[in-house]
């Protein structure tokens, strides 16, 4: 149980309890959620208080358990409780409570709060077999499921009064697991393998000096964080940066363009999406000096350069080959273009020349966009004709816009396959 409960760590859980003998199990549920690191706010119907008192829940959760809409009327209690919740769970949910939820009745704190919820909702019914089997209850359950409520249980077993049959509240562990599943992102990026590159590469001249650029990694890290937030398995290939690693991503540190190429090509082999926000050096010194070059031995202006491979263009070419050979689907390719002028023209050229699905063109000659700032402005160009301008915004918000487009492309690709 702790495994699932820990997935709810740091989450605000609203636990609604209604009047049935199984209300005692709601106390165990509250305890497990708190042990797993969630903050739990309990609300009770008046029926629930006949079985377990508010003081029990207050003791378990460290917060007062509420029972009435007018407990705190000036704060519009039910609206606030619903807004604070990351997830709501109703356990046990009686036939009466389920009927109220389905009908949209709001005549007490629990039902009023339900009508205000916008977070994921889990309902765990518990009642006698006859009540559970009644067509009205079954219709009400079907209505809730159709509206996106996750219904867990009931199970078969011993019921109040010694009867046996379907209607028993599932165990707290099962409810917690259902809650963890309800919170897991469900969108098109969920469980996809995404490779993101970030930062600039450094091309060493000798042990002290290198050719580099001004990329901080902020744009790529914002993209990696957003993909991870949407449930993707993110492999972040990062050039040198001072940034904190985003939570929930696997990081691969590289320094040079050649190292980045090795890492990206390996990871791209079974990726669904590759997003290249890194500023890869186009050239590297032709010769690496093992010893520090002495000032008196170097003629400035004479570092001979050779061209680095274009990683993205290589991925694009490999994809074209795979497509013409009828091979397995290659990853979606998303590039960035750092431009100082003619951004649309140059962006379109890179989109087609490198064989990409999407390119994010950003200006790098403005103080509030491009390199090493928290904001950006961009033009998104898609091979499908997409053209979206994103005015000045944070890199986190731009990352969300880019991820929306990636998700749309994934959905389209799935429909076509
Ligand atoms: O890191 P920040 O400080 O937040 O700055 C963000 C950024 C400005 C670096 C970022 O938003 C950005 O524009 N990244 C791409 C920079 C770049 O190299 O652009 P380009 O137009 O030279 O290259 C086009 C695309 O080809 C890029 O996706 C690049 O990763 C890729 N490329 C380029 C050269 C090369 N040898 N291999 C590549 O894969």
Residue 245 is assigned to a structural domain of this protein: yes
CATH number, domain containing residue 64:
3.40.50.1950
Interatomic CA distance for residues 304 and 96, integer angstroms: 81
Interatomic CA distance for residues 40 and 176, integer angstroms: 13
- Would you say the C-alpha torsion 62, 65, 66, 71 has a positive or negative sign? negative
Name the band, by pLDDT with cuts 50, 70 and 90, for residue 298.
Answer: low
- Residues 141 and 288 both lie in one domain: no
Q: Is 213 a catalytic residue?
A: yes
- Looking up tokens 């049935």 gives 20
Among 183, 215, 236, identify where a domain stops: 183
Ligand 1 centroid from CA 345, angstroms: 16
Q: What is the pLDDT of residue 301?
A: 61
Q: Is the CB of 336 under 6 A from ligand 1?
A: yes
What's the pLDDT tens digit per position in 91-147? 999 999 999 999 999 999 999 999 999 999 999 999 999 999 999 999 999 999 999
Residue 275 structural domain: 193-416
Among 155, 183, 211, identify where a domain stops: 183
Atom number, ligand 1, closest to the C-alpha of residue 364: 8
Atom number, ligand 1, closest to the C-alpha of residue 216: 3
- CB atoms < 10 A from the CB of 172, how many? 22
Residue 371 is assigned to a structural domain of this protein: yes
What's the pLDDT tens digit per position in 250-294? 999 999 999 999 999 999 999 999 999 999 999 999 999 999 888
Interatomic CA distance for residues 276 and 260, integer angstroms: 11
Ligand 1 centroid from CA 409, angstroms: 21
For 16, counting Cβ atoms within 10 Å of its Cβ (0-12 exposed, 13-18 middle, 19+ buried), the class is: buried
Residue 188 is assigned to a structural domain of this protein: no
Ligand 1 centroid from CA 391, angstroms: 19
- Residues 200 and 178 both lie in one domain: no
CATH number, domain containing residue 247:
3.40.50.10300
- Residues 40 and 138 both lie in one domain: yes
For 90, counting Cβ atoms within 10 Å of its Cβ (0-12 exposed, 13-18 middle, 19+ buried), the class is: buried
Ligand 1 centroid from CA 339, angstroms: 10
Q: Is the CB of 310 under 6 A from ligand 1?
A: yes
Q: Kindly list the distances between the CA atom of residue 347 and the CA atoms of 287, 312, 366, 410, in Å, as whole numbers in the listed order.
A: 32, 14, 17, 22
- Residues 236 and 284 both lie in one domain: yes
- Residues 158 and 211 both lie in one domain: no
Interatomic CA distance for residues 158 and 7, integer angstroms: 30
- Residues 383 and 246 both lie in one domain: yes
Catalytic residue (one of 213, 308, 362, 376): 213
Interatomic CA distance for residues 243 and 276, integer angstroms: 18
- Residues 399 and 302 both lie in one domain: yes
Number of domains in the chain: 2
What's the pLDDT tens digit per position in 307-351? 999 999 999 999 999 888 888 888 999 999 999 999 999 999 999
Q: Is the CB of 19 under 6 A from ligand 1?
A: no
- Residues 268 and 294 both lie in one domain: yes
Q: What is the pLDDT of residue 181?
A: 85
- Residues 51 and 140 both lie in one domain: yes
Among 134, 158, 183, identify where a domain stops: 183
Q: What is the pLDDT of residue 1?
A: 45
Contact 405, 388 (CB under 8 A): yes
Q: Is the CB of 337 under 6 A from ligand 1?
A: yes
What's the pLDDT tens digit per position in 189-233? 999 999 999 999 999 999 999 999 999 999 999 999 999 988 899
């Amino acid at each position: 149980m702790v495994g699932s409960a820990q997935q709810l760590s740091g989450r605000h859980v609203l636990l609604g309890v209604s009047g049935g003998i199984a209300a005692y199990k709601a106390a165990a549920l509250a305890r497990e959620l708190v042990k797993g690191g969630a903050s739990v706010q309990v609300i009770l119907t008046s029926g629930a208080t006949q079985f377990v008192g508010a003081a029990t829940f207050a003791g378990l959760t460290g917060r007062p358990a509420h029972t009435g809409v007018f407990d705190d009327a000036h704060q519009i209690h039910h609206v606030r409780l619903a807004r604070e919740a990351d997830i709501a769970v109703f356990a046990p949910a009686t036939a009466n409570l389920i009927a109220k939820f389905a009908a949209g009745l709001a005549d007490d704190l629990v039902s009023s709060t339900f009508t205000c919820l916008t977070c994921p909702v889990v309902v765990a019914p518990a009642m006698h077999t006859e009540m559970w089997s009644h067509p009205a209850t079954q219709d009400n359950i079907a209505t809730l499921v159709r509206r996106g409520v996750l219904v867990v249980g009931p199970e078969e077993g011993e019921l109040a009064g010694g009867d046996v049959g379907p209607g028993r509240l599932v165990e707290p562990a099962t409810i917690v697991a259902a809650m963890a599943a309800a919170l897991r992102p469900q969108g098109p990026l969920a469980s996809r393998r995404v490779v993101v590159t970030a930062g600039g590469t450094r091309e060493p001249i000798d042990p002290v000096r290198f050719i580099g650029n001004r990329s901080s990694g902020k744009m790529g890290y914002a993209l990696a964080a957003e993909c991870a937030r949407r449930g993707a398995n993110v492999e972040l290939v990062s050039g040198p940066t001072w940034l904190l690693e985003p939570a929930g991503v696997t990081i691969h540190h590289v320094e040079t363009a050649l190292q980045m190429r090795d890492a990206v090509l390996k990871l791209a082999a079974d990726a669904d999406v590759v997003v290249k926000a890194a500023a890869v050096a186009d050239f590297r010194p032709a010769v690496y000096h093992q010893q520090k070059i002495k000032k008196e031995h170097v003629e400035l202006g004479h570092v001979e350069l050779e061209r680095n491979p274009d990683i993205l263009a290589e991925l694009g070419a490999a994809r074209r080959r795979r497509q013409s050979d009828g091979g397995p689907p290659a990853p979606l390719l998303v590039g960035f273009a750092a431009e100082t002028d003619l951004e649309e023209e140059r962006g379109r050229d890179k989109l087609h020349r490198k064989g990409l699905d999407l390119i994010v063109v950003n200006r790098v000659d403005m103080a509030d966009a491009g390199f090493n700032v928290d904001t950006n402005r961009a033009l998104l160009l898609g091979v499908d004709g997409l053209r979206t301008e994103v005015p000045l915004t944070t890199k986190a918000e731009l990352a969300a816009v880019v991820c929306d487009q990636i998700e749309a492309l994934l959905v389209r690709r799935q429909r076509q396959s």
